[in-house]
Amino acid sequence: MAPGDHVSPEEIAPILNRRTRRKSAQVTYLEEIPFGPALFIRRYHLGNGLEVQVLPDPTSATISYHTWFRVGSRYEQPGKTGLSHMFEHLMFKSTKNRPQGSFDRTIESHGGHNNAATWTDWTYYHENLPASALHVAVELESDRLANLLLDDSQVLPEKEVVANERRLVVDDDVEGAANEALHALAFRKHGYGWPTIGWMNDIQNYSTKDCIKFHRTYYNPGNAVVVVSGNVTDMDLLTLVQDHYGAIPARKTPPAPRTKEAAQRAERVKKLRWPTETEKLLMGYRTPELTHPDFVPLSMLRDILVGGRSARLTRRLVEKEESALQVRASLAPFQDPGLFDFWLDMRPGQKAQRALELLEQEIALIQKKGVKPWELEKAKNRFEVSSLSECESVGGRAEQAGFFTMAANDPSYGWKMLDQALATTKKDIQRVAQTYLIPKHRCRVHVLAQSNTAQSNTAQSNATQSSALQSSTAQ
C-alpha cells in the first residue's frame, strides 16, 4: 500500500514493520486522543524510543514540524549554565552530511522558516514548511540528531553570538536583569535559580568538549518527541520517520535532577540599581508545579488580578491611583514548583513601595472576601479563549501538544486544564490566594534609579552573576 493511502492507525505499524527488521525502527501505535473541540492527535513510538505525534489537518497547505527534547537549563550544572540554550544555536551548524549554513538554506529554499526555544525544562526546534516539503524536515532533523558536528570552529564563534544575545536580553534590559535576580534569589539549590541563557562567565568558559558531552547525554531519540501538525497523513510521516530515524540507536538518558528547594521562612528582598527614571518592582510568590490541582485556579486568579483592563490590579494601580504604568503577572508553567511573579513598572515620581501596599490590599481582599461572580465568569471565558487562540495555526497546535507532553506527558493536557477551569469555583480561587500569596513565601527585586555618576560598572557587574545587586535579604 502506498504511503498516504487511507489506512487506520492500527494497520500502519504492521505495514511499516514489514519493511525492516531493525528493532530501533519498529513502529508501535499508542493511542488516539481528542485535541480540542475539532481535532485529534495520534501517538506512536519508534523502537529506539522516539515518540511521534500526528495532528492532521487536511484543510491546511502547510505543516509544522516540532522536535522537543527533555532538557532545559535545570538539567545543567553550576559552572556550565546556558549549555541547553547554546544548543539552540549549535544545532543549526554542520553535520557529517551537511556543511555549515546548509540547514537554514535548505529550509529557506523550500520557503520555510525555522527556529528554536529553550527554557528550564525543555528545548524545542521547529520548522514551518509547505506540506509538500515534509520530507525536508524529517531529513534535516534526523540528520542533526544523529550526525551533528561539534568542534572549535562551530562552538567558539557561536559563544560570541550567545554572549551578544545575553547582552541584549539581560545585561542591557532592565526586566531581563530583574528577572535573573529574582530567580537567583528564590532558588538557591534548584536549577530554576540560574538563567536559561547562562551566566556570562559560563558562556565564555565552556569548551567544545562540554558541548559534545551535553549533546551525547541529552540528544537521543528516547529523549525526544516529534510533533507534526498540518496537512500530513500518519502513513506518510511514519514512513519517512522510520527511514530516517530508524537507524539511530537508542541511548539511555539520565533522569531529571531531583533537587528540592528548602522551604522559605521569610521574605527575601534585593535592590537593583539601574539607569532608569522610574522605579520597578518584580516579585514572585512560590507556587506549585503545572500538574498540581491548584495550578489552574492560580492561573484564573492571575487573570482576575491582571488579565484585561477590568483586572483588579490594573484598575487600582494603573487606572485609579495612576501609580504604575503597567502591571503584569505570570505563573511559571514548570515541572517543579515555580513562581507566580508580578512586574510593576512605576510612573515617574511614584514609589514601588506604595504600589506594593496597594497590591497587598487587593490580594488581602480576595483572601478575605473571595472574588465576584462576574470575575469567575471572566476567568473561565478567558481561559477558554486562550486555549482556542493557541490552536488557530498548525504551528500553535504543535507547540501546545509538544509543551504539554514535556510538562505533563500528555499532549492534550491543556484541554484537561480547560475542563478543570470550567469547573473551578469562587472558593477554589479564594483558597489558592490564601495558600500561596503570602509575603513570607515571596521574593522581591526593587529596581531603583541610579544617578549618572554612580552608573559605572553596573552593566558589567550585572553580567557576572548580578553582583551589583545590593542585598538586604530578610532571611
Partner 1 sequence: MIKLSNTAFSSFHQGPLNHVNGMPVFLEAGHQLPVVDFVVTLKKGTAADPSNQLGLTFLTWALLRKGTRDISSDQVEEAIDRMGARLGIDVQREHIQVHGWVLKRHLDTFVDLLCKLLRAPAFRKEDLEQKQREIIARQLSIKDDDRSLTQLHFRQAMFRGHSYANPIAGWPSTLPKIRVKDVRAHYKNRFSPGQVSVGFSGDLEPTEATHIATRLIASLPLENEPASAGPKSNHVSAPKAPRKGRHITLVSKPDRAKSQILIGTAGTHTRDPWRDSLTVANTAFGGTFTSKLTQEVREKRGWSYGASSGFTGEHKRGAWYMSTFPATEQTLPCIQLQLKLVEQWVMRGMPKASIEFAKNYLLESHCFDVDTPAKRLDQVIFAWVLNRPLSKVRLFPERIRAVTHASCKEAVQARIDPNRLQIVLVGSEEHLAKGLAKLPGTTTLNTLPHDRIDLSGRT
Residues within window 123-152 making contact with partner 1, judged by CB under 8 A: 128, 130
Our finding on whether 58 is near partner 1 (CB under 8 A) is yes
Which of 113, 188, 351, 368 binds partner 1 (CB under 8 A)? It is: 113
Minimal distance, residue 459 CB to partner 1, in Å = 5
Our finding on whether 172 is near partner 1 (CB under 8 A) is yes
Q: Which residues of 305-319 are buried (b: 16+ CB within 10 A; e: fewer)?
A: bbbeeebbbbebbbe
What is the rounded CA–CA span in Å between residue 65 and residue 110?
A: 14
Distance of CA 423 to the CA centre of its chain: 26
Which of 59, 255, 260, 419 binds partner 1 (CB under 8 A)? It is: 59
Stretch that binds partner 1, among 12-20, 66-74, 77-85, 391-399 (CB under 8 A): 391-399
Question: What stretches of 307-425 show up as alpha helix (H) in DSSP?
Answer: 312-313, 352-369, 373-389, 394-408, 413-423
Minimal distance, residue 237 CB to partner 1, in Å = 17
C-alpha cell at 350: 511614584
**Residue appearing with cell numbers 476567568:** 379
- Nearer of residues 375 and 428 to partner 1, judged by Cβ: 375
- Nearer of residues 16 and 344 to partner 1, judged by Cβ: 344
C-alpha cell at 109: 529554499
Residues 191-210 that bind partner 1 (CB under 8 A): none
Our finding on whether 392 is near partner 1 (CB under 8 A) is yes
Long-range contacts of 145-149 (CB under 8 A, 24+ apart): 145/67, 145/219, 145/220, 145/221, 145/224, 145/245, 145/248, 146/247, 146/248, 147/95, 147/96, 147/97, 148/90, 148/91, 148/93, 148/95, 148/215, 148/219, 149/93, 149/94, 149/95, 149/96
Our finding on whether 31 is near partner 1 (CB under 8 A) is no
Q: Which amino acid is at 426?
A: K
- Nearer of residues 174 and 184 to partner 1, judged by Cβ: 174
Our finding on whether 98 is near partner 1 (CB under 8 A) is no
- Nearer of residues 108 and 357 to partner 1, judged by Cβ: 108
**Residue appearing with cell numbers 522551604:** 263
Residues 331-390 that bind partner 1 (CB under 8 A): 345, 347-348, 374, 377-378, 380-385, 388-389
Our finding on whether 321 is near partner 1 (CB under 8 A) is no
Our finding on whether 158 is near partner 1 (CB under 8 A) is yes
Our finding on whether 109 is near partner 1 (CB under 8 A) is yes
Our finding on whether 319 is near partner 1 (CB under 8 A) is yes
DSSP secondary structure, 92-119, as one string:
TS-BSSS-TTHHHHHHHHTT-EEEEEE-
Our finding on whether 419 is near partner 1 (CB under 8 A) is no
Our finding on whether 178 is near partner 1 (CB under 8 A) is no
Stretch that binds partner 1, among 44-52, 270-278, 358-366, 409-417 (CB under 8 A): 270-278
For the chain, count helices (H), then strands (E): 17, 13
C-alpha cell at 433: 490566594
Binding-residue total with partner 1 (CB under 8 A): 77
Which of 17, 201, 291, 393 binds partner 1 (CB under 8 A)? It is: 393
Which of 10, 31, 277, 419 binds partner 1 (CB under 8 A)? It is: 277
Rounded alpha-carbon distances, angstroms, from residue 326 to 36, 178, 441: 33, 16, 24
Minimal distance, residue 21 CB to partner 1, in Å = 36
Rounded alpha-carbon distances, angstroms, from residue 146 to 29, 55, 215: 24, 25, 10
Our finding on whether 160 is near partner 1 (CB under 8 A) is yes
Which of 19, 23, 96, 105 binds partner 1 (CB under 8 A)? It is: 105
Minimal distance, residue 93 CB to partner 1, in Å = 10
Cα 169–Cα 213–Cα 258 angle in degrees, nearest 5:
75
Our finding on whether 423 is near partner 1 (CB under 8 A) is no
Residues 427-456 that bind partner 1 (CB under 8 A): 452, 455-456
- Nearer of residues 56 and 246 to partner 1, judged by Cβ: 56
Minimal distance, residue 325 CB to partner 1, in Å = 5
Rounded alpha-carbon distances, angstroms, from residue 314 to 70, 318, 342, 451: 37, 5, 12, 30
**Strands, E, within 47-149: which ranges?**
51-56, 62-69, 113-118, 123-130
Which of 22, 45, 135, 167 binds partner 1 (CB under 8 A)? It is: 167
